[in-house]
């Protein structure tokens, strides 16, 4: 009956996990549509923090199906560890299904990701080294020996595919990067112990998605963010999949006219992990304040996130690229103590004013943000639960963000917990 896409409007870590978990309460299925274990989505329940890399952020709601759709890529070791860790904390994961067609991240994809990054030297992307690029590369190059989840159901087939893949990978590992070749036995022995845990979850998921689409509420959970998209992000400093809302259609097989709602998740300021342009980045005390108040350290890699003011130019562009119907503003409380808050409303690049990201994203390196200043509210928001309680300055900041995005506000998050959300 309805389908909602959750999409990151910036460079990832906007708080997609928290908002997805809230929507999952009334959803019949939560489906991750792209990416793999490069994601790190945080859900906080009754003070308990869950960091999810692969498993959809609806997993704590056992009545909702949680699906890794065919557009995602799965690291079996990460998946096994995540399922086991959740079970230890009382989450059954019985509602988890993984598409037979999702491609598999193997240990040598992770190895290659690291070797490629090292070989790039100063030009490295700063990937999560989770094997994302090498696995999507194999998928798109249509290697017959690429491994999909269905192949994990048959030991001898799996072994022969590993053997076939390694015949090529070892040449690259050894001769291009000077690394140690990998043996079939070593890889198989690493993957084999994960299979008992994973196999019960491997399934045809298309019928489930279709049924929920017809009878219930489907939430399609994006990973990463709009400007990490392979086509619409700051290439080459991007991921190898399609986080934009259109990627939800590709990754799940849901057609574009069946999407009812696209909620773009917007952090009240900007962060980025890894290399690439970032026009509103602050390399000063203000940036340091955002990092420490927002605890801006990567969920997956622990790296400090680069921090800066909200980029309204990026937001406008993201809203258009995703056909956002509303925005959820997160981490507003992180700005509680600021005297003055800045928002970039345009860029100046080579003497010309831009209100949207230039299509040639290389130009971003030369962008000077044009800021608008707004007064801060200088009081804590984290206990507030309705817009009426919000100080005028905070409400005005939120309204300004909605005007820049040209869409309605779905809700405002003022803390990591479920209850710390002001619904509109
Ligand atoms: P995701 O990748 O988009 O799901 O976001 P992450 O989980 O990587 O990063 C968001 C971080 O901010 C997590 O630690 C969340 O628990 C936390 N968080 C989410 N919403 C809020 C909020 O409104 N205020 C504060 N202070 N923290 C939040
Ligand atoms: P969530 O879902 C923030 C970044 C990496 C690097 C680039 C490419 O938690 O928002 P990759 O490993 O994908 O090849 O790395 O993308 N990146 C993320 N940044 N949040 C994420 O996920 C990210 N996933 C990848 O830091 O710059
Ligand atoms: Mg994250």
Q: Give CA–CA dist 187/165, Å, rounded.
A: 11
Q: Give CA–CA dist 14/299, Å, rounded.
A: 12
Reported pTM: 0.98
Q: Give CA–CA dist 226/244, Å, rounded.
A: 5
Looking at the annotation, which residues are catalytic? 13, 41
CA of 120 to the centre of ligand 2 (A): 17
CA of 40 to the centre of ligand 3 (A): 4
CA of 298 to the centre of ligand 1 (A): 10
- Which numbered ligand comes closest to the C-alpha of 416? 1
Question: Cis omega before residue 371 (within 30°)?
Answer: no
359's CB contacts (< 8 A; 6+ apart) are: none
271 close to ligand 2 (CB < 6 Angstrom): no
Find the angle CA(126)-CA(132)-CA(137) to the nearest 5 degrees: 115
Q: Give CA–CA dist 412/377, Å, rounded.
A: 15
4 close to ligand 2 (CB < 6 Angstrom): no
CA of 379 to the centre of ligand 1 (A): 20
pLDDT in tens, 195-218: 999 999 999 999 999 999 999 999
Ligand 2 pocket test target in 111, 225, 239 with most atoms within 8 Å of CB: 239
CATH class of 266-423: alpha beta
pLDDT in tens, 268-327: 999 999 999 999 999 999 999 999 999 999 877 888 999 999 999 999 999 999 999 999
CA of 107 to the centre of ligand 1 (A): 29
The confidence score (pLDDT) of residue 298 equals 87
The confidence score (pLDDT) of residue 393 equals 98
Closest Cα to atom 27 of ligand 1: 416
**Residues bordering ligand 3, an ion, CB closer than 5 Å:** 13, 40, 299
**Residues lining ligand 1, Cβ inside 6 A:** 8, 12-18, 40-42, 44, 299, 330-331, 333-334, 413-416
CATH of 2-100+199-261, one of 3.50.50.60, 3.40.50.2300, 2.60.40.420, 3.40.440.10: 3.40.440.10
CATH domain 103-196 topology? Adenylosuccinate Synthetase, subunit A; domain 2 (1.10.300)
The confidence score (pLDDT) of residue 362 equals 85
Per domain, the residue ranges of the chain are 2-100+199-261, 103-196, 266-423
125 close to ligand 2 (CB < 6 Angstrom): yes
Per-residue pLDDT of the chain (424 residues; tens, 9 = 90+): 799 999 999 999 999 999 999 999 999 999 999 999 999 999 999 999 999 999 999 999 999 999 999 999 999 999 999 999 999 999 999 999 999 999 999 999 999 999 999 999 999 999 999 999 999 999 999 989 999 999 999 999 999 999 999 999 999 999 999 999 999 999 999 999 999 999 999 999 999 999 999 999 999 999 999 999 999 999 999 999 999 999 999 999 999 999 999 999 999 999 999 999 999 999 999 999 999 999 999 877 888 999 999 999 999 999 999 999 999 999 999 999 999 999 999 999 999 999 999 998 889 999 999 999 999 999 999 999 999 999 999 999 999 999 999 999 999 999 999 999 999 8
163's CB contacts (< 8 A; 6+ apart) are: 184
The token pair that represents 66 in the structure block: 């949680």
The token pair that represents 204 in the structure block: 């045809």
């Amino acid at each position: 009956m309805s389908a909602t896409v959750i999409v990151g409007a910036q460079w990832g870590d906007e708080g997609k996990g928290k908002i997805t978990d809230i929507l999952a309460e009334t959803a019949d299925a939560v489906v991750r549509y792209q990416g793999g274990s490069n994601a790190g989505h945080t859900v906080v329940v009754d003070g308990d923090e869950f960091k999810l890399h692969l498993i959809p952020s609806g997993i704590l709601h056992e009545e909702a199906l949680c699906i890794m759709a065919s557009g995602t890529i799965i690291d079996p070791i990460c998946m096994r560890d995540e399922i086991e860790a959740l079970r230890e904390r009382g989450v059954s994961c019985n509602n988890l299904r993984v598409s037979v067609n999702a491609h598999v991240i193997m240990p040598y994809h992770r190895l290659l990701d690291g070797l490629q990054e090292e070989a790039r030297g100063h030009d490295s992307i700063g990937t999560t080294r989770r094997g994302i690029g090498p696995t999507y590369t194999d998928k798109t190059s249509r290697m017959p020996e690429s491994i999909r989840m269905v192949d994990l159901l048959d030991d001898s087939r799996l072994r022969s595919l590993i053997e076939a893949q390694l015949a090529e990978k070892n040449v690259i590992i050894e001769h291009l990067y000077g690394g140690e070749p990998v043996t079939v036995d070593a890889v198989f022995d690493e993957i084999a112990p994960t299979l008992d845990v994973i196999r019960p979850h491997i399934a045809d998921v298309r019928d489930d998605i279709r049924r929920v689409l017809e009878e219930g509420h489907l939430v399609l959970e994006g990973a990463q963010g709009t400007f990490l998209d392979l086509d619409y992000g700051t290439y080459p400093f991007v991921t190898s999949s399609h986080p934009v809302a259109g990627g939800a259609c590709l990754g799940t097989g849901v057609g574009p006219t069946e999407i009812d709602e696209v909620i773009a998740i917007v952090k009240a300021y900007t962060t980025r992990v890894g290399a690439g342009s970032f026009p509103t980045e602050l390399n000063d005390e203000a940036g340091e304040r955002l990092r420490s108040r927002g605890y801006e350290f990567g969920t997956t890699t622990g790296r400090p996130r680069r921090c800066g003011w909200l980029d309204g130019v990026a937001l406008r562009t993201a809203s258009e690229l995703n056909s956002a119907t509303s925005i959820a503003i997160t981490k507003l409380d992180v700005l509680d103590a600021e005297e003055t808050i800045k928002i970039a409303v345009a860029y100046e690049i080579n003497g010309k004013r831009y209100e949207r990201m230039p299509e040639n994203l290389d130009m971003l390196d030369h962008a000077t943000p044009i800021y608008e200043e707004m007064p801060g509210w200088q009081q804590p928001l984290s206990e507030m639960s309705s817009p009426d309680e919000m100080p005028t300055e905070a409400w005005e900041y939120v309204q300004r963000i909605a005007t820049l995005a040209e869409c309605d506000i779905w809700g405002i998050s003022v803390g990591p917990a479920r209850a710390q959300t002001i619904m509109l």
